[in-house]
Amino acid sequence: MQTLVIYDTTGRIIFQAKGNVQEPEGIPFMWLDIPEGKLLKGINTAVEPHEPIYEDMPKSQIDTINEQLTTIQIALAEALGV
């Protein structure tokens, strides 16, 4: 689903909305499909047409713990010769 992003002339995000929303008049905006696993950081207004700036979504504590658990399981299997 597309997201309406309203931003100022510096590229700072002012407002984001999904669904049935009215486009503003006289204010910079764009419709975006924000990729999964990404966060919208801002809008690059130095180029035409303006471009979204994305960053990776930070890992959750659960993801970090799962990675640590997998590493421990591999090390344990190697130590036991499994």
| pLDDT tens by residue, 6-60 | 999 999 999 999 999 999 999 999 999 999 999 999 999 999 999 999 999 998 9
Question: Contact at 8 Å (CB) between 27 and 9?
Answer: no
pLDDT digits (tens, 9 = 90+) for 44-55: 999 999 999 999
Strands 3-7 and 29-32: antiparallel
For 6, counting Cβ atoms within 10 Å of its Cβ (0-12 exposed, 13-18 middle, 19+ buried), the class is middle
Give dist(CA 16, CA 3) in Å, integer: 6
Model pLDDT, residue 82: 76
- pTM, two decimal places: 0.69
CA distance linking residue 23 with residue 42, whole number of Å = 18
pLDDT given at position 44: 98
